[in-house]
Amino acid sequence: MGFGIWELAFLPLPSFQPLPGFVDLLPEDAARMRHLEETARTLFERCGYREIRPPLVEDAALFERTSGATSDIVQKQMFSIPSRDDAGAFVLRPEGTPGVFRAYLEAGYAKTNPFQKFFYLGPMFRYERPQKGRQRQFHQIGIEAIGSPDPHLDAEIVYLGYRFYEAVGLRQVTVLLNSIGCAACRPAYLQTLRNALTASLDTLCALCRDRFGRNVLRILDCKNAPCTQAVAQAPRIADSLCDDCRSHDRAFRIALKAGLPISEAPRLVRGLDYYTRTVFEYHHPGLGARSAVGAGGRYDGLGERLGGSAIPAVGFAIGVEATLLALEAEGKLPEPGGAGGIFVVYVDRDCRTDAYRLTEGLRNAGVTADLDHMGRSLKSQMKAADARGAHEIWILGPDEISAGTVKIKRLSDGSEKTLPVVEAISHASRAPADAPR
């Protein structure tokens, strides 16, 4: 049955919502995320890291070649974008490291200035089942130090991540460490591991039975009970390290800052194929079974996977949403707060134009300022100023406009004073940015 044009006008409009696994970052959420990002930026730049911003869209082959064909990312988590000109498959970036390394090679750093320290911030995309703290669009803060095999750099990276968690207020983060060897010693261990798991092959989950022949090391990463039981008695990779890997691991641990809450994790491996030697994770007990808030390691073979030479590198990625959940669990989730600054109120509607001009004068002088745009009463404007987190309220009425003055009320102590407008703006522009004005 069709509808006439008049009937269509009264049909309910569709209610649009975010797609599953994608969430709106409202101002309060964005303020908390920005707090983490600004903390990271300050800390990382102090340690010599520079910001890099690779694109959100990359060639799918970049991740197939680096992350590994058997990784969960490549097998089932990438968001593909069809190409209109047969240029190949594109994907929304599922992680940061391959794009940063590609940009490093593309810029010619490997030849002109091999050692580089980068950090990045931004959204990543993975097609997985949405749940608390795990969405299809999520955000990471990461660092990559490319060009040096120095184990002291591994120590700097691990400690820097821990310092970030301290700086945002977390006190219950622990660091899990392991070494997974290199191309020289890992193949022998992989065969030893296959031999040890052969008798239990039928008890493994379907995914791990597939991994047995393609990437047996990933079985150590499985959280299914039958698989964890099967690997409980399996040989440790630390017992199969070559002399170079043992020497690297020893120097790394000596360099680590004393007092870090470190736990040995002999079964710890990373879910991506490019990792070598040092691997680590940051965990927080407030997140339950999925307690990782960040992870990283060394990836000395990534350059070769991209068709270049062997370029040593190490880095980590911090989960922003997971970190916010950890802060919430410790009762330390930062208050988003208001915009602060000055809120200009007007006594009656005839004063609105003068109030607008005063507000613009403050803004032009570099002062955070706003005013009411809803035509509310003086009392309601005062409430709006308080809700906004203003430090001061500047009041304009007919008397003040006639005299060229403004009444200033400081909200911290309720004190009031009246000053000439020009003097008041000059004083406000000279006040420290974080001081009550």
Q: What are phi and psi of 269, to 5 degrees?
A: -135, 160
pLDDT of residue 86: 67
DSSP state, 63? H
Annotate 198-265 with DSSP letters as a single string: GGGGGGS-HHHHHHHHH-GGGGGG--SHHHHHHHTTSPPGGGG--HHHHHHHHHHHHHSPTT--EEE-
Q: What are phi and psi of 67, to 5 degrees?
A: -70, -30
- State the pLDDT confidence band at 10, using cuts at 50, 70 and 90: low
Report the percent of the chain where pLDDT is more than 70. 92
For the cut 60, the answer to whether the pLDDT of residue 107 exceeds it is yes
pLDDT of residue 433: 47
For the chain, the domains span: 27-185+241-329, 342-429
For the cut 70, the answer to whether the pLDDT of residue 5 exceeds it is no
Residues 115-142: pLDDT tens digits? 999 999 999 999 888 888 788 999 999 9
- Strand-pairing partners, residue 279, are 178, 297
CATH architecture of 27-185+241-329: 2-Layer Sandwich (3.30)
Question: Domain 342-429 belongs to what topology?
Answer: Rossmann fold (3.40.50)
268-303: b or e for each residue (b if 16 or more CB lie within 10 Å)?
bbbebbbbbbbbbbbbbebbeeebebbbbbbbbbbb
Residues 300-327: pLDDT tens digits? 988 888 877 889 999 999 999 999 999 9
Span 411-433, average pLDDT: 88
Range from 75-84, 227-236, 276-285, 311-320 carrying the lowest mean pLDDT: 75-84
**Can you read off the two tokens belonging to residue 330?**
């410790």
pLDDT of residue 75: 66
pLDDT of residue 204: 86
Cα dist. 51→40, 100, 145, 205, 268 in Å?
11, 10, 12, 41, 29
Q: Does 27-185+241-329 match 342-429 in CATH topology?
A: no
Residues 42-100: pLDDT tens digits? 999 999 999 999 999 998 888 887 766 656 666 667 878 877 776 678 889 999 999 99
pLDDT of residue 71: 65
For the cut 90, the answer to whether the pLDDT of residue 253 exceeds it is yes
Both ends of the chain: CA-CA distance in Å? 65
Mean pLDDT of the chain, nearest integer: 88
